[in-house]
Amino acid sequence: DAMVIQNPRYQVTQFGKPVTLSCSQTLNHNVMYWYQQKSSQAPKLLFHYYDKDFNNEADTPDNFQSRRPNTSFCFLDIRSPGLGDAAMYLCATSRGFRGGTDTQYFGPGTRLTVL
């Protein structure tokens, strides 16, 4: 089945220790997204890639970076995690229909704990 895969599902890191979260997709979608979701809150878009074009949200902290080495993979790097970065990180993909409706499909998420 075509899908969005996130690894690991659970990640524990220490305060200030860099961490990388991984996302891959077999849907061959053009767009890949990273969201942060904290308890009882709406998912918050951090950034997205349309093919190789990176689009950062204005309020995404510099501490968060992303890489998309190819169509299938996208990484979220947190350079110096703080306690406030503990959250569920969701990866999503979409075809990227510019002139029409575009549905996003989500992976299972990575739960990040910062000690």
Q: Residue 32 interacts with other proteins (CB under 8 A)?
A: no
Q: Residue 96 interacts with other proteins (CB under 8 A)?
A: yes
Q: Residue 101 interacts with other proteins (CB under 8 A)?
A: yes
Cβ count near 84 (within 10 Å): 10
Minimum Å distance from CB 103 to other proteins?
6
Going by C-alpha positions, the residue among 71, 63, 83 that lies closest to residue 20 is 63
Q: Residue 48 interacts with other proteins (CB under 8 A)?
A: yes
Single out the residue of 50, 56, 72, 113 in contact with other proteins (rule: CB under 8 A).
Answer: 50
Minimum Å distance from CB 95 to other proteins?
8
Place of tokens 């075509």: 2
Calculate the alpha carbon distances from 108 to 1, 37, 61, 66, 115 in Å: 15, 12, 23, 18, 23
Report yes or no: 112 and 9 within 8 Å, Cβ to Cβ: no
Binding site residues, other proteins, CB under 8 A: 4, 6, 9, 31, 33, 40-43, 45, 48, 50, 55, 90-92, 94, 96-109, 111
